[in-house]
Every structure is written in structure tokens, then in C-alpha cells.
Amino acid sequence: MDIKLNDKENSRKELEATLTYEELTPYFEKAVEKYRKKVSIPGFRKGKAPLNMIRKLYGEGIEYSAVEDIAGEVFYKYITENNLDVISKGAITDIDYKPKEKLDFKIEFDVMPDVKIDKYKGLKLKKQTNKIDDSLVNDEINYHKFRSATYEIDGVASDDDYLITVDLQNLDESGNILIGQSQKDLKVYLGNPEIYPEFKEGMKGIKEGETRIIDSKNAEGEPKKVQISCTKVEKIIYPEMNSGFFKTVTGKDDLKTEEEFRAEIRNELQKIYDGISERQLKSDVVNEMIKENDIPAPERYIDVILDSMVEDYKSRYKGKKIPADFIEADFRNERRVDAIIQAKWYLIRDKIIEMEKIEADEESYRKIAEEFSGKFNIPADKLMEAYKDNEDIKMRILNDKVMDIIINNAELEEILELRTKEDSGEV
């Protein structure tokens, strides 16, 4: 067999091969045997006709039909034996079979480029550290109290701890009803800080069955009148701050005092905001590494990542209808920049894995298994064995190890951020 690998543009390769008829014969024999199993010839049971008869009747046609499969088999064997990191499956660009003589073919395909990393140590990075303010803890506790609250019918909304139900009707300047501009059974929590001041003031002390007119402004800042008719007034009854409530919120039954509960809430908020900071730091690492190591990403690799993004999106609707406004071409265009960033980062990351000889070790698998053991209710040891066969878990471990090397060798500036209730919208 005469076979050679030709370099094309960028990371594209061309496998060029010639097989003699003698080298083709074993492949053809397998093709004949395969064909015999499905052909019916009068006088013989299906799949039992003599091979010589099959060759005589269909031999040349079988050979022509088999040459593309043979080319694919030779291609796969070559890339496997030579450890080529192939991106694309490969496409036959030329194939020529001369019966009883030889087979010539060419297959083009893309491989991962061998990139050069100029810098991955000594990056200048900023890491945000977080201090949880009491106001954020209070806001989180109040949120859970509100979620667990009960309601008691009352006649008048005497303070902010009320939920009122109103019918809303827009009026013109003369106080006449504007047809089609109304809302019924609108529930309003009077303690909501997002309520417009004029509405908050206008609904103070409102009674069930009472109608009021509030002077407000429309989206353009022009004056408008709104008529509100209160149909229900409910007093919000908050739960007691006891161990039962603490367990409802946290799932833990060892919290006995309000101080312990507040400490637990603070600890969970700390984890959340530290996680946000960690993800931001890793995002900054990716951006800085791409900036310091400007490497081209093969178009085919970008397409592969976009394919994965499309499949991921569609998988969210498994068993359901994909939204009618989903247009794959538009989706690919919108996500293309993200795909390019991912492609460049993966190439950089994989090169660092090679340079640093990084491996997914036993301890790393155990750490992830212990992290998810409780969530899936599976013993960590069993989960760890399953994870060892999971390529995604392996790449997560390797990715984290690369991140650790870059961050641990960076010039890291820590910036303290006080997290207050104004930040609660982030989580």
C-alpha cells in the first residue's frame, strides 16, 4: 500500500493512498460475504448461495460499491495508528477504481493545530473577594419569611405588611374610563420597594370596597389618572423564627437559635458570591490567555463547537416542541463569537495540559464524587467509578487543573467588595 499525508492550508490535511488489487482482495471478500447474507438466488436459501456464484453474478458491482467503505476503513486505521487528533470525519475528494488493478483515493480532513503558547504564567489578574453585609442577610431572611407567610383577611391596610387585591382602570384627564385599559385582580404587596411612590402613598390605609383615584405619569412622563378599586385586604402573618422555620429554609435540623440561622444564611450567601467571583476570575483567565496567545482557531473546529451548542439548545426541549421562532442559522450567527472564544481556549488549554503533563488523578475524581454524592444520593465510591469513564468529568478536572496553574502563577490583585441588599438581584 502506498500512502502519504499531504499538508494543505491551515490545519487541513490530505491522505493520498493507492491499494493494489491484491491488497484490495481481503476487503472485497468481506464485501462479498456481507452481500451473500442479504441476496436471494433461486434454488438456494437466502444467504446460502455459494460465494463463487455471488462473485460471478455480482462481483464487479460489489467491488465498485465497496471502494468508498474501503477508503474510509484505510483512513480510520491510518489516523488511529498515527495518533492524529482529527476534528472532522474526512471527505473523499477523489476516488478512482480500476477493476483488477488498483484503487486510488484522496481524503481531506482537519486536525487540531499544534499551537505555541507564549505566556501562561505571570498574568495580571483581579480577584474579587466578598464581605456579606447584614443588610443582605436581613433581605434574604425577609424573602424566606415572605415565601412562608400566611394571610389573614382584614378590613384595612394599616401598614406595609399587607397584600391587597385591586382592579385597575386608566382614566382620561376628565376622569372618564379609557376602554381596554384595565386590569382585574391585581395583587399588590405594599412593602414592595419597587412600587411607584405615588401608588404607595395613594394606597395607604385603603379599605376593602374602597375606590381611589391616583395621579401618576405614563411612560412618556405625561400626567395620567388611575382608578383603583380594592376588592380584598389581607394581613401578612410571618412565620415564627424557630427551628421549624430554620429547617424549612435550610434543610438542616440542627439550627436552634436565630444567631445560628443568620450565620447559616450568611455562609450560604458567602458561597454564592464567592462562586460568582470564581466564575468571573476564570472568565478573565480565558480572555487574558487569548489576548496573550493570539492563535487561529480552525473553521471546522468552530463549526464543531457550534454544532454542540445547537444540540445542547435542542436537548432542553427533549420531548417538547422547539420554539417556533428558533432559526438555526440565526442561532449560529449569534453564538459564533462565543464558539471562537471556546475554540481558542480549548486549544490553549490542551497545549498546557500537554506541556505540564497534567492528568486526571484518583484524588480529583474522588473530590468531584464527594461533591455530588449527596445530590444524587449515590455513594461516593460508586459515583467515582462511573465518573472515571466520563469524558466530560475528565475534561472538567483537567480544565480546573489548568486554571489552578494559571491563577497560582498570576499576579493576583484582590479587591474587597461589600455585598449589600442592593446586590441581591445578582443571585
- Residues 214, 218, 224, CA angle at the centre, nearest 5°? 40
Percent of the chain with pLDDT over 90: 81
Over residues 66-78, mean pLDDT = 95
- The secondary element (H helix, E strand) that includes residue 97 is strand 91-98
* pLDDT tens-place string over residues 360-409: 999 999 999 999 998 888 999 999 999 999 999 999 999 999 999 999 99
Under DSSP, the state recorded for 378 is -
Tell me if the domain spanning 2-110 has CATH number 3.30.70.1050. Answer: yes
Tens of pLDDT, residues 238-297: 999 999 999 999 999 999 999 999 999 999 999 999 999 999 999 999 999 999 998 989
* pLDDT for 374: 84
For residue 418, list its beta bridge partners.
131
Q: Are 85 and 109 in contact (CB under 8 A)?
A: no
| Predicted TM-score (pTM) above 0.85 | no
Pairwise pLDDT comparison (353 vs 41), residue with the higher score: 353
Domain 2-110 and domain 245-426, same fold? Reply is no
Residue 128: predicted pLDDT: 96
Please say whether the beta carbons of 2 and 17 come within 8 A. Answer: yes
The tens digit of pLDDT for each residue in 176-211 reads 999 999 999 999 999 998 999 999 999 999 999 999
Task: Give the class (CATH, top level) of 245-426.
Answer: mainly alpha
Long-range contacts of 260-266 (CB under 8 A, 24+ apart): 261/141, 262/137, 262/141, 265/137, 265/140, 265/141, 266/132, 266/137
pLDDT at 81: 95
Residue 213 has pLDDT above 80, yes or no: yes
Given the C-alpha cell 500512502, which residue does it identify?
3
pLDDT for 167: 97
Residue 318: which pLDDT band, with cuts at 50, 70 and 90?
A: confident
Query: For the purposes of burial, counting CB atoms within 10 Å of the CB of 366, is it exposed (0-12), middle (13-18) or buried (19 or more)?
Result: middle
Grid coordinates standing for 79? 489516523
Q: For 119-172, what is each residue's pLDDT tens digit?
A: 999 999 999 999 999 999 999 999 999 999 999 999 999 999 999 999 999 998
Of 355, 362, 365, the C-alpha closest to 409 is 355
pLDDT at 11: 87
Separation between Cα atoms, residue 256 and residue 243, nearest integer Å: 5
Q: What is the DSSP string of 287-310?
A: HHHHHHS--PPPHHHHHHHHHHHH
Q: Name the grid cell of 332.
A: 449560529
User: Of 52-56, 236-240, 414-418, which range is least confident?
Assistant: 52-56
Q: How is the chain split into domains, by residue range?
A: 2-110, 150-237, 245-426
Considering the chain, what is the average pLDDT of its residues? 93
CATH (one of 3.20.20.140, 3.30.1390.20, 3.10.50.30, 1.50.10.20) for 150-237: 3.10.50.30
Q: What is the pLDDT of residue 36?
A: 84
Report pLDDT for 49: 80
**43: pLDDT strictly greater than 80:** no
Q: Is the pLDDT of residue 427 over 80?
A: no
How would you classify residue 389: left for phi > 0, otherwise alpha for psi between -120 and 50, otherwise beta? alpha
